[in-house]
Structure 1
Amino acid sequence: MTELRRVAMTGGHGFLGWHTACRLRALHGIEPLLVGRDTWADPSALRDALDGVDTVIHLAGVNRAASDEEVEGGNVELAETLGSALGQRPVHVVYADSVQRELDNPYGRGKRRAAELLARLPGTFADVVLPNLFGEHGRPAYNSFVATFCSEVAAGRRPEVTGDREIPLLHAQGAAQALIGAALDPVDRLVPVEGEPHGIGEVLDRLTGFQALYAERGELPDLSTSFAVDLFNTYRSYLFPGQFPIAPSVHGDARGDLVETVRAHGGTGQGFVSTTRPGHTRGDHYHLRKVERFFVLAGEAEISLRRLLHDDVVTFRLSGDTPSFVDMPTMWVHNIRNVGDRDLLTMFWADQLLDADQPDQYPEKVTP
């Protein structure tokens, strides 16, 4: 294994690019150079951008276009453009390939031919063959059927399943892990990455189950498997921020008030309560996989969130006068600040038991 220094990522502003950049930032403290369309369209600007780069993670691809020729030729052209920009300088290239490379269709042929061209470049080449991907903030009707289903179900619609079958699925963070692992080992290699088979209808049934529990009542589904957590985190990214805050019913009598803070239907969980003094802030971090809830029970709070590698901040005002909660989406930096004149009482809940060695918690300011 080598230490990554200057990394460039083509297609870095896309779905897999965002997930890979988030993981590089969280686990390696690296901010890759994200090569977008404007730079790609200018050969001299592309050469200048890649000058001095020692590793290129090539994610840019064409999987939908107006014609089959554009799909096949587009992937080949992207590889040729990258090769021209690098010239004869030896660079380690990590290629996000597809299992469709084995199929005789335009996308498969284009990806396979692109891999052949990239393998001929000076330097080393890692061909990472990925299955069907899903994950937070995927583009509906483009990145995967899971993105389409999540968007539809979150909007209260029920899509139809045609040709139900099992498909190997991999969360985008799993793909990012494989790509980064290949980047850390600069040798010529083929890296097949397996997915976990799940039926199309099964995925839709799980999502509609999430909707019935979570979107309608704020209850957490069974999160006892890794796939369930990944799919749930993907689904809830399509609900944020419009779903929050949620204010459950308060049951009161002469003794006082009672409010349910968490109803979880399976998996691990840990809760704790904190007080925060006026003017103070907790948080300023993000998670890659953790499901986390902030429930304000007393006092006045502002919860602020910013999607990692983005600038816009979403802020919620919560009050203990109407006990309510916001769930933190994965890969969104978040904090909670006491904006009142008395102590803020907050209950926190997470689906992971705290592991001090691997807390899945990465410091970063919501507002730098």
Structure 2
Amino acid sequence: MKVVLTGAGGFLGWHTRLRLHALTDHDVAAVDRSTWTRLPELVARADAVIHVAGVNRGDAADVESGNLELARDLAEAVTAAGHPARIVYANSVQDGNGTPYGLGKRGAREILEGAAASGGGRLVDVRLPNLFGEHGRPNYNSFVATFVAAVRDGHDPQVADRPVGLLHAQGAAQALIDGLATDAHRIDPAVTTVGVQQVLDLLHDFKRSYDQGEFPDLSSQFRIELFNTYRAALFPDHYPIALAPHTDPRGTFVETVRCRGGEGQTSFSTTVPGITRGEHYHLSKIERFAVISGRARMSLRRMFSDEIVDFDVCGDQPAAIDMPVGWVHNITNTGTEVLLTQFWSHELFRPDAPDTFPERVRPHPQES
């Protein structure tokens, strides 16, 4: 299926593009602000559009009109295409609640419904709650992103406590992908209901544990998702993590992983000089690489970005890197001796759901 993804450069757009890349074979045309003028030609060749582009912060009038304007642009492109198209709309639970944002989202839905119907297509209305996840912008995407930045920087923000329904951006992305094939006209993804204060308390717990070299309790999916969100905000400045060697006349002991709860799996590999391992990314897995002996370079690249982060490490000064989700990563033996690396994951490896997707950190020229 040929799919146009609007808003691909934003928070939810990036997560949706990542999930489409990992789990489907759809031909995805990613549209952001820099390529918005190409929308008509891309929609003309598409079977479906996932419309994520929107305005959720700013002057009240601009928020409402901005969402309407984006919808009109897409509606014109769908109408001009002249063939039935499915529009999967990243709507909000605030649709029609009387706020400028809610009015803008409702108006956009009505515009897109009309365009889809006039061409013999259909609109799938995906009502999204408060979202959180890796690479959210503080004071913009969600209160969770704001809390994460505050806790990372040693602050304790004031909280007006209340229950709130939260959904990780990967869950929202899956709901949008489900919209490409569903017979339903509306999708309401399930949420995790937590207190605002509870979220802040968990983040403080994460910081205390992680600052002491421990992984926190990862015994629930929500904890894993929130911890992944927190540690993404630490990358790359927090790394590599120095591992303290304990040496006596018998030799040296190094503790590489401490975890307070959840599953866990440890493995190791030997790598001969010049060879690279890895070349993959994950959607939710927490994975630590720790060099025990030898010299290595660990390289990471955020998906859909060209910037590469390199860490040179050595077993003489044991260090670990925790791989952020959505970042392609590898490890190369840069020394003259066999490299010994320990790998730890927060979950057991499951062949039917490995959460490991091949991709090169440095694509071959023909792949770029």
Normalising to structure 1: TM-score of the pair? 0.95
Deviation sequence 1:329-366 (CA, Å, 0-9, x none): 00100001111111111110001101011110000111
What is the aligned counterpart of 2:329 among 331, 334, 344? 334
Name the residue aligned to 1:13.
9
Name the residue aligned to 1:144.
142
RMSD across aligned positions (CA): 1.2
Q: In structure 1, give the amino acid aligned to 2:154.
A: G
- 8 A contact 1:25–1:31 mirrored in 2: no
Unaligned runs of at least 5 residues, structure 1 = none
Q: In structure 2, give the amino acid aligned to 1:189.
A: H
C-alpha displacement at 1:102, in angstroms?
4.4
Name the residue aligned to 1:53.
46
Q: In structure 2, give the amino acid aligned to 1:12.
A: A
Distance in 2, matches of 1:292 and 1:38, equals 34
Identity %: 52
Distance in 2, matches of 1:136 and 1:192, equals 22
Matched residue of 2:268: which SS? strand
C-alpha displacement at 1:235, in angstroms?
0.5
Name the residue aligned to 1:190.
186
Unaligned runs of at least 5 residues, structure 2 = 364-368
Aligned length: 357
Q: In structure 2, give the amino acid aligned to 1:6.
A: K
- 8 A contact 1:92–1:124 mirrored in 2: yes
User: Is 1:156 equivalent to 2:154 in the alignment?
Assistant: yes
Distance in 2, matches of 1:126 and 1:25, equals 21
What is the aligned counterpart of 1:124 among 112, 122, 128? 122
User: Is 1:33 equivalent to 2:29 in the alignment?
Assistant: yes
Deviation sequence 1:221-266 (CA, Å, 0-9, x none): 0000000000000000000011111112211111111111100000
C-alpha displacement at 1:188, in angstroms?
5.7
User: Is 1:263 equivalent to 2:261 in the alignment?
Assistant: no
C-alpha displacement at 1:135, in angstroms?
0.4
Q: In structure 2, give the amino acid aligned to 1:23.
A: R
Distance in 2, matches of 1:130 and 1:306, equals 29
Matched residue of 2:107: which SS? helix
- 8 A contact 2:96–2:105 mirrored in 1: no
1:219-368 equivalence runs, <5 A = 219-368=214-363
Distance in 2, matches of 1:38 and 1:336, equals 34
Name the residue aligned to 2:366.
none
Normalising to structure 2: TM-score of the pair? 0.95
Distance in 2, matches of 1:241 and 1:30, equals 31
Q: Structure 1 segments of 4 or more deviating over 6 A?
A: none
Q: In structure 2, give the amino acid aligned to 1:159.
A: P
Which range moves more in the overlay, 119-128 or 224-233?
Answer: 119-128
Deviation sequence 1:268-292 (CA, Å, 0-9, x none): 0000111111111110001100000
- 8 A contact 1:134–1:170 mirrored in 2: yes
What is the aligned counterpart of 2:62 among 67, 70, 74? 70
C-alpha displacement at 1:50, in angstroms?
1.8
Distance in 1, matches of 2:73 and 2:96, equals 23
- Specify whether residues 326 and 308 from structure 1 end up closer, same or farther in structure 2 by C-alpha distance, changes over 3 A only: same
- 8 A contact 2:138–2:145 mirrored in 1: yes
Name the residue aligned to 1:98.
92
Distance in 2, matches of 1:239 and 1:251, equals 27
Distance in 1, matches of 2:331 and 2:156, equals 35
Matched residue of 2:348: which SS? coil
Q: In structure 2, give the amino acid aligned to 1:328.
A: M
Which range moves more in the overlay, 315-324 or 149-158?
Answer: 149-158
Distance in 2, matches of 1:128 and 1:167, equals 18
Distance in 2, matches of 1:337 and 1:56, equals 40
Which range moves more in the overlay, 112-121 or 52-61?
Answer: 112-121
Deviation sequence 1:94-148 (CA, Å, 0-9, x none): 0000001141111111111211121112211100001110000011110000011
User: Is 1:201 equivalent to 2:197 in the alignment?
Assistant: yes
